């Protein structure tokens, strides 16, 4: 992020300085940004942060909204959707009518609706089970914290039991609705009988601890103040620091309809919408994704938001009623083609995703994969004026996308390169360790030999480290263990005897510790002590079928970018260290431990490791398919 911005509003300059040095933004910074008229500079800052996190990707999902009923025990003033039983507009859907709305290509079903006074608990569970059974491809994002709290009280079940049963019935993630604005003043005036901030946050905390990632929202543009907006963001940021369980933040623009809350019944202005998106992106420095929800923003504003900090458009959204009952002027559904066009027109890569933001399909050629960890930053820090578009993606997903022919080039996990070497050309750059790595760690309660027969949780990110672990266990220690894949968002490790983490997550826990695991093994150290060789985790490669000029262009871009990155390791470290909980000094030392050039020793190490891989008696056991492992 070496970009220069010329600020009209000089008050934004110090905020930009803080962003570039990885310093956290404060309440005052948030207020300064909302007060600015220099919207273009604000957008540029947010776009730079967005690019640092998401590269050129903008995500969307093929989804269907199901609002099972509009009958609701609450009567929130801002809501034109809810009604009472007996009202001519009241409706209740059967499970069959919900199934009738779905088609096999849908990936996400988003369920949320009124709090029905009479429905039984079993009906909600059956709803999830039947959808999942009839459409196995579908991931269920269901029930806001408000609904979870309602189930807890009505059916007299503890919150974690409600969530446990829903998860067992097929729930994968929770939507972010019901947060409204975390302000008691606003709550008392607009939704006094609904749960407040404390309960909303506690329910999301519980979900995160149980391995259910969630989303989050703010309802803005009614009677809230700018200070209340920023305080809302700060409370979400604090919970995310604790749990890392939020996938996205979605600012919901208030649709006035007949609610009578705003005397003029005016929609939010485009400027206010873009400011809200941009401020969210820069304040929520620990949130992976910011969503421009076109249903409430309009397609036009959502398109611009893709260059103002938003990296997600939600999806095709069939059947939305909450916003439309309140007068939303947007269509009820967008086609996949329309969404792809909006994203392409914004100069971005349309990335079709699943409910966890795993990329399933890229709707654009010429994409280069980027490992989203600090150790790859020296390659990309100066990847400027690029003819290639960049997609940050975990090593394992990068391998899957390459296999599907979706990527032109990337910093591939070694194992993926080896298995696809017929179609890829190796470039002389890599991520290799000298002795220790610090970011491929086995957290364990057992010594190596005692891990025989034990259950090891494996991060969903890894392609090569899982194999390195298997080689070390089986060939060095003669022990065989059971490997179980954990999906992203899991942060409870109680089920495992040991846990393998990689990348920034591993670095973070190396410092902070991981639950009660007492032993921490560095896999590169284990390898080095045994083989006296470096370990090559990833290599740069390009699709062999591309013209030689493309290969030359990419090689020279990597070379120039790496040269600048290596000269400026301290700058790279300063910007990224705080995010991982390291000091700049620690981050610099970490990066200095890598060798980015593929030399003789590295090639020898690849051959030796390749030999071990071929000699394994049985490959790594098939990971448990928890729905995150589909290729399409």
* Ordered strands of the 535-543 beta sheet: 389-392, 367-370, 409-413, 535-543, 424-433, 594-597
Nearer to ligand V47, 177 or 534 (CB): 177
Spacing of C-alpha 584 from chain mean position: 25
> Binding to ligand V47 by residue 257, rule CB under 6 A?
yes
Binding span for ligand V47 by CB under 6 A among 177-185, 274-282, 465-473, 550-558? 177-185
Using the contact rule CB under 6 A, the part of the chain among 149-157, 213-221, 357-365, 526-534 near ligand V47 is 213-221
Is the Cβ of residue 325 or residue 504 nearer to ligand V47 in the bound state? Answer: 325
Q: Which is nearer to ligand V47, 223 or 484 (CB)?
A: 223
Q: How far is the CB of 217 from ligand V47 (least distance, A)?
A: 5
Nearer to ligand V47, 219 or 501 (CB): 219
Using rule CB under 6 A, residue 326 touches ligand V47: yes
Measured in Å, how far apart are the chain's first and last C-alpha atoms? Answer: 33
Select the span of 6-14, 75-83, 158-166, 445-453 touching ligand V47 (CB under 6 A). 75-83
Instruction: For residue 355, state whether it binds ligand V47 (rule: CB under 6 A).
Output: no
Q: Are residues 35 and 295 in contact, defined by beta-carbon separation less than 8 angstroms?
A: no
Residues 135-164 that bind ligand V47 (CB under 6 A): 144
How near is the Cβ of 109 to ligand V47 at its closest, in Å? Answer: 12
State in angstroms the smallest separation of the CB of 322 from ligand V47. Answer: 5
> Under the criterion CB under 6 A, does residue 252 sit at the interface with ligand V47?
yes
110 and 64 Cβ atoms separated by less than 8 Å? yes
Asked if 251 touches ligand V47 (CB under 6 A), the answer is: no
> According to CB under 6 A, which one of 15, 25, 79, 128 is a site residue for ligand V47?
79
Binding range to ligand V47, per CB under 6 A, among 92-100, 250-258, 348-356, 512-520: 250-258
296 binds ligand V47 (CB under 6 A): yes
212 binds ligand V47 (CB under 6 A): no
d(CA 348, CA 366): 12
Strand arrangement of the beta sheet that strand 349-353 belongs to: 312-315, 57-61, 349-353, 359-362
Let me know: does 22 contact 575? Beta carbons within 8 Å: yes
Q: Which of 235, 285, 240 is nearest to 579 (CA)?
A: 285
For the bound state, the minimum distance from the C-beta of residue 277 to ligand V47, rounded and expressed in Å, comes to: 14
Closer Cβ to ligand V47, 80 or 311, answer by number: 80
The DSSP string of 331-356 is -S---HHHHHHHHHHTT-EEEEE-TT
Is position 176 an interface residue for ligand V47 (rule: CB under 6 A)? yes
**Residue 178 lies near ligand V47 (rule: CB under 6 A):** yes
**Total binding residues toward ligand V47, as defined by CB under 6 A:** 24
Q: Chain-centre distance of CA 476, in angstroms?
A: 36
Contacts by 94-102 with C-beta closer than 8 Å and gap 24+? 95/123, 95/126, 95/127, 95/130, 95/131, 98/66, 98/68, 98/127, 98/131, 99/130, 99/131, 99/134, 99/135, 101/64, 101/66, 101/318, 101/319, 102/64, 102/131, 102/134, 102/135, 102/138
Helix, strand and coil percent figures for the chain, each rounded to 5: 40, 20, 40
* Binding flag, residue 111, ligand V47 (CB under 6 A): no
Of 36, 51, 54, 255, the one binding ligand V47 (CB under 6 A) is 255
- Choice between 142 and 536, CB closer to ligand V47: 142
Piece of 247-255, 271-279, 484-492, 620-628 that binds ligand V47 (CB under 6 A): 247-255
Which single residue brings its beta carbon nearest to ligand V47? 177
Q: What distance in Å separates the CA atoms of residue 81 and residue 68, rounded to the nearest whole number?
A: 12
Residue 420 burial (10 A CB sphere; 0-12, 13-18, 19+)? middle
323 binds ligand V47, rule: CB under 6 A: yes
296/368 with CB nearer ligand V47: 296
Rounded Cα distance between 595 and 607, Å, is 17
Q: How far is CA 616 from CA 389, 445, 467, 521, 606, in A?
A: 37, 25, 10, 22, 16
Residue 422: count of CB within 10 angstroms of its CB: 6
Residue 250 within binding range of ligand V47, rule CB under 6 A? yes
Q: How far apart are CA 149 and CA 129, in angstroms?
A: 21
In the complex, minimum distance from the CB of residue 558 to ligand V47, in angstroms, rounded to a whole number: 36
Asked if 400 contacts 580 with a C-beta cutoff of 8 angstroms, the reply is no
Judged by CB under 6 A, which stretch of 52-60, 225-233, 321-329, 386-394 contacts ligand V47? 321-329
Q: Which of 261, 203, 197, 208 is nearest to 232 (CA)?
A: 197
314 sits near ligand V47 (criterion: CB under 6 A): yes
| Degrees, nearest 5: CA angle 334-337-343 | 90
- Interface with ligand V47 includes 290 (CB under 6 A)? no
Q: Near ligand V47 by CB under 6 A, which window of 72-80, 354-362, 431-439, 478-486?
A: 72-80
| Rounded-to-integer distance, Cα 385 and Cα 45, Å | 18
**Choices 159-167, 214-222, 522-530, 570-578; region in contact with ligand V47 by CB under 6 A:** 214-222
The answer to the question of residue 309 lying near ligand V47 (CB under 6 A) is: no
Interaction of residue 318 with ligand V47, rule CB under 6 A: no
Residues that bind ligand V47 (CB under 6 A): 78-80, 144, 175-178, 180, 215, 217, 219, 250, 252, 254-255, 257, 259, 293, 296, 314, 322-323, 326
């Amino acid at each position: 992020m070496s970009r220069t911005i010329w600020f009209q509003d000089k008050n934004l300059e110090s905020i930009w300085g803080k962003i570039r040095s990885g310093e956290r933004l404060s309440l005052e910074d948030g207020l300064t940004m909302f007060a600015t008229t220099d919207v273009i500079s604000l957008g540029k800052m947010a776009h730079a942060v967005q690019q640092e996190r998401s590269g050129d990707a903008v995500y969307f999902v093929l989804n269907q909204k199901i609002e099972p009923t509009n009958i609701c025990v609450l009567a929130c003033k801002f809501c034109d959707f809810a009604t009472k039983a007996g009202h001519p507009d009241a409706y209740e859907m059967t499970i069959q009518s919900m199934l009738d709305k779905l088609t096999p290509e849908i990936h996400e079903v988003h369920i949320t609706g009124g709090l029905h006074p009479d429905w039984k608990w079993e009906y909600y569970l059956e709803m999830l089970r039947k959808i999942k059974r009839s459409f196995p491809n579908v991931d269920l994002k269901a029930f806001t914290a408000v609904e979870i709290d309602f189930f807890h009280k009505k059916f007299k079940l503890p919150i974690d039991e409600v969530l446990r049963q829903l998860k067992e019935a097929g729930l994968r993630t929770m939507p972010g609705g019901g947060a409204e604005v975390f302000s008691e003043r606003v709550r008392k005036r607009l939704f006094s009988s609904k749960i407040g901030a404390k309960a909303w946050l506690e329910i999301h905390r519980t979900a995160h601890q149980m391995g259910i990632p969630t989303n989050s929202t703010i309802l803005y543009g009614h009677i809230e103040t700018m200070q209340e907006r920023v305080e809302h963001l700060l409370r979400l940021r604090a919970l995310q620091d604790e749990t890392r369980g939020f996938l996205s933040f979605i600012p919901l623009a208030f649709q006035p309809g007949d609610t009578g809350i705003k005397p003029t019944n005016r929609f939010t202005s485009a400027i206010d919408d873009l400011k809200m998106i941009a401020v969210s992106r820069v304040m929520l420095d620990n949130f992976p994704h910011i969503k421009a929800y076109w249903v409430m923003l309009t397609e036009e504003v959502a398109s611009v938001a893709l260059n103002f900090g938003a990296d997600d458009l939600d999806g095709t959204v069939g059947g939305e009623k909450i916003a439309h009952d309140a007068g939303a002027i947007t269509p009820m559904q967008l086609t996949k083609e329309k969404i792809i066009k909006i994203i392409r027109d914004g100069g971005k890569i349309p990335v079709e995703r699943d409910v966890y933001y795993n990329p399933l399909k890229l709707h654009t050629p010429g994409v280069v994969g980027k490992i989203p960890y600090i150790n790859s930053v020296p390659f990309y820090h100066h990847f400027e004026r690029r003819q290639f578009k960049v997609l940050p993606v975990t090593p394992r997903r990068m391998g899957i996308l390459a296999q599907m022919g979706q990527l032109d080039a990337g910093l591939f996990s070694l194992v993926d390169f080896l298995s696809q070497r017929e179609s890829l050309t190796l470039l002389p750059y890599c991520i290799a360790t000298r002795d220790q790595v610090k970011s491929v760690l086995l957290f364990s309660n057992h010594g190596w030999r005692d891990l025989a027969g034990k259950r090891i949780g494996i991060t969903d990110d890894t392609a090569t480290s899982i194999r390195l672990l298997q080689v070390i266990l089986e060939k060095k220690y003669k022990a065989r263990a059971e490997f179980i894949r954990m999906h992203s968002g899991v942060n409870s490790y109680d089920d495992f005897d040991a846990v393998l983490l990689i990348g920034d997550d591993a670095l973070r826990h190396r410092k902070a510790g991981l639950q009660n695991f007492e032993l921490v093994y560095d896999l590169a150290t284990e390898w080095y002590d045994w083989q006296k060789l470096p370990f090559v985790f990833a290599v740069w490669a390009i699709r062999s079928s591309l013209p030689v000029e493309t290969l030359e262009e990419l090689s020279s871009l990597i070379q120039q970018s790496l040269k600048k990155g290596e000269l400026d390791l301290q700058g790279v470290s300063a910007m990224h260290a705080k995010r991982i909980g390291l000091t700049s000094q620690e981050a610099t030392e970490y990066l200095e431990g890598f060798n980015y050039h593929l030399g003789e020793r590295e090639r020898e190490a690849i051959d030796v490791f390749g030999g071990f891989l071929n000699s394994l008696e049985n490959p790594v056991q098939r990971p448990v398919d928890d729905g995150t492992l589909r290729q399409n």
